[in-house]
Amino acid sequence: MKKIIVEGLKYKYPLSDTLALADLSFEVSEGEFIGIIGENSAGKSTLCQALVGLVPHFYKGAYGGKVFVDGLEVKSHSIAEIALKVGMVFQNPFTQVTGSKMSVYEEIAFGLENIGLPRLEIIERTNYVLNLLKIEKVKDHNPFDLSGGQMQRMAIASIIAMKPDILVLDEPTSQLDPAGSEEVFSAIQKLSKQGITVILAEHKMEKVARYCDRVLLLNNGKSVDFDSPEKVFSRKDLEDHGVVAPVYTRVCKALGVKMAASDYYPVTLEDAERALRGRME
Amino acid sequence: MKSISLYVERDSFIHEVDPITKMIYILFALLIPIILPSFTISFLCLGISLLLLVMAKVIRKTVPVFSFVFLVLITVVIIQGLFKPENETVLFQMGPLAMYKEGLLYALTITLRVMNIVSSFMILVLTTKPSDLVEALVRKGMSPRIGYVIVSVFQIIPEMMSSMGTITDAQRARGMETEGNVIVRIKAFVPLLGPVILGSLINTKERAMALEVRGFNSRAPKTYLYEEKTYTHGRLVQSVMLLLVVGAIVWRIFA
């Protein structure tokens, strides 16, 4: 089943002369883990926001084409309705703190109170996400007293608690150290394995290569490629689009080592190791 | 984190009482002296409020508030004592100025009223968390949006102040004079405003988006993480206060 269908999406921010998204079309199946890559201002964040309805409902501006998420047309439904299907985590964890709750625990429950879940369900889900993102220790702290990384995990937890079918993450690990972002990625992968569709805009290419099923490469609001990480990162014109391939791919490219029985370079550490060992033998 | 709310965490039965009962108490303490305008009643009401503040173990926190209020009230006493039009009976003479009895009595009435209002409000403010108060009101039908605005102010204002501190430090590190006479301080203040105001506008936009995706505008009836805070004798206390108000009105009309 197609979870997300984007048909000829065009969007221009108010007061801007250029299209932020220019004629995008793609489809995503249920349970897929999709990475969105591209240089800054390529349209990654705008596309993420178009999937939850912030584009066009929050910003207004000129909008064309169609976006369906889980069968709902984004343009004709309110953000609150879409929010039940699609959860979105933003880049800046600081501004995702509501400011109306005194503890991390209450903060995570905020969204669940808004959508009117019964009390016991709220408690159960809140405890589950605290555990999933490993922030039980700080559950009684004030949200503003957390470190950047803890705040980011809290932001992710708050959205996951709402149990969306589709999870949209806009650079969710920008404030995290390598160990912390690894933890967050494995939590997201766990959800992905449970059947949640994940859309991830990210600059850490090694993570994209490792976790994503397919990668959407954007440049100037246009879709350049939408394919498996191996195919996208093996493109010769990758750097013209402002993207640097994962370090493993670059090493193998320099050495001219392709994956066994394929025309593409390896993109993860394991594949690169296998390919290089294969050549040595 | 620094808090701008006056709430004091203490273990007392006043803290247990639900916010609605405390709000009704404010109305009660306000109405009774208006219905029965005698000094005895006013003193009695004030006495009860002060007693409750003592029992809530927060009486010391009222000192700064009361001292500010007294500052205002002293001007009332002086002006009324000297210049009230009905002034006739000279009480005492201070050089060329005479203090009159009528004016002073009138000033005493005002003082008692103000003290009454302030002390009953203090019971609510000092012993109730702002978030509990707002939640109680939202449950009674206040719009959750207005509730959000009220509660978030208590956290976002201190946040803005701390980001202002960070910006000041950053500018000081780049050699800006921030200490010295008034002119230097004012000069140091101006370049702060841009980053602080623009920064908070951007933050507000992003926060609004984050609220949207968390169902803030959802039409579903809101539920609550915590069970409604109820005080066992809440109903009783409220009924007694209502009866007393009705009694006072009857007393006023027939006696």
d(CA A79, CA B213): 7
Tell me the chain A residues in contact with residue B227 when contact means C-beta distances shorter than 8 Å: 119
pLDDT at B187: 82
Cβ within 8 Å, pair A83-B214: yes
Cβ within 8 Å, pair B220-A114: yes
The residue extents of the domains of chain A are 1-85+164-230, 100-163, 246-281
d(CA A167, CA B235): 46
Compute the Cα dihedral for A200, A203, A207, A213 and give only its sign. positive
Cβ within 8 Å, pair B216-A114: yes
Report residue A98 as tokens: 């509501």
d(CA A220, CA A241): 9
Per DSSP, what are the bridge partners of residue B32? none
Percent of chain B past pLDDT 90, that is, above it, reads: 50
Tell whether B156 lies on the interface with A, counting CB pairs under 8 A. yes
Q: Is the pLDDT of residue B88 over 90?
A: no
Smallest CA–CA separation between A109 and chain B, in Å?
A: 7
Exposed e or buried b for every residue in A101-111, given b needs 16+ CB within 10 A? bbebbbbbbbb
Asked if the peptide bond before residue B85 counts as cis, ω within 30 degrees of 0, the response is no
The number of C-beta contacts closer than 8 angstroms across A and B is 111
Helix (H) or strand (E) holding B90: strand B90-94
Tell whether B212 lies on the interface with A, counting CB pairs under 8 A. yes
Tens digit of pLDDT per residue, chain A (281 long)?
799 999 999 999 999 999 999 999 999 999 999 999 999 989 999 999 999 999 999 999 999 999 999 999 999 999 999 999 999 999 999 999 998 898 999 999 999 999 999 999 999 999 999 999 999 999 999 999 998 889 999 999 999 999 999 999 999 988 888 988 988 898 899 999 999 999 999 999 999 999 999 999 999 999 999 999 999 999 999 999 999 999 999 999 999 999 888 889 999 999 999 999 887 76
Residues 53-72, chain A: which have Cβ within 8 Å of B? 54, 58
Give Cα B37 distance to the centre of its chain: 24
Give Cα B255 distance to the centre of its chain: 35
Give the pLDDT mean for B122-128. Answer: 93
* Helix, strand or coil, per DSSP, at residue A151: helix
Q: What is the pTM of this model?
A: 0.84
At B144, which amino acid appears? Answer: P
pLDDT at B188: 80
Tell whether B41 lies on the interface with A, counting CB pairs under 8 A. no
Cβ within 8 Å, pair A159-B213: yes
Cβ within 8 Å, pair B223-A78: no
Residue B83, CA distances (Å) to A55, A253, B71, B86, B90 in order: 65, 95, 19, 9, 12
* Helix, strand or coil, per DSSP, at residue B206: helix
pLDDT at B138: 93
Among candidates A176, A211, A214, which has minimal Cα distance to A192?
A211
Tell me the chain A residues in contact with residue B222 when contact means C-beta distances shorter than 8 Å: 113-114, 116
Tell whether A151 lies on the interface with B, counting CB pairs under 8 A. no
Residue of B nearest to A105 (CA): B225
Q: Are A30 and A59 in contact (CB under 8 A)?
A: no
Indicate the range of A121-125, B91-95, B251-255 predicted with least confidence. Answer: B91-95
Tell whether B215 lies on the interface with A, counting CB pairs under 8 A. yes
> Helix crossing, B130-139 with B144-173: angle to 10°?
150
pLDDT at A130: 96
**How crowded is residue B165: how many other Cβ atoms within 10 Å of its Cβ?**
11
Cβ within 8 Å, pair A106-B219: no
> What are φ and ψ of residue A258, in 5° steps?
-105, 165
Tell me the chain B residues in contact with residue A119 when contact means C-beta distances shorter than 8 Å: 223-225, 227
| pLDDT bucket at B2, cuts 50 / 70 / 90 | low
Tell me the chain A residues in contact with residue B208 when contact means C-beta distances shorter than 8 Å: 58
Task: List, in order, residues 6 or more apart from A15 with CB less than 8 Å away.
Answer: none
Q: For A273, how many CA atoms within 13 A lie in the half-sphere containing its CB?
A: 3
d(CA B147, CA B133): 9
At B200, which amino acid appears? Answer: S
Tell whether A49 lies on the interface with B, counting CB pairs under 8 A. yes
Q: For B7-49, what is each residue's pLDDT tens digit?
A: 888 888 899 899 999 999 999 999 999 999 889 999 999 999 9
Q: For B174-206, what is each residue's pLDDT tens digit?
A: 888 878 888 888 888 887 888 888 888 999 999
Residue of B nearest to A142 (CA): B1
Look up tokens 């002034």; give the residue. Answer: B87
Give the one of B207, B213, B224 whose C-beta lies nearest to A87's C-beta.
Answer: B213
* Helix, strand or coil, per DSSP, at residue A2: strand
Smallest CA–CA separation between B154 and chain A, in Å?
A: 8
Tell whether B216 lies on the interface with A, counting CB pairs under 8 A. yes
d(CA B176, CA B168): 9
Kindly report the average pLDDT of chain B as a whole number.
Answer: 89
Residue of A nearest to B159 (CA): A144
Indicate the range of A250-259, B118-127, B181-190, B208-217 predicted with least confidence. Answer: B181-190
Tell me which CATH code domain A1-85+164-230 carries.
3.40.50.300
User: Which pairs from B154-157 meet CB under 8 Å and 24+ separation?
Assistant: B154/B3, B154/B4, B154/B5, B154/B130, B155/A99, B155/A100, B155/A102, B155/A142, B155/A144, B155/B1, B156/A99, B157/B4
Q: Is the pLDDT of residue B1 over 70?
A: no
CA terminus-to-terminus distance, chain A: 44
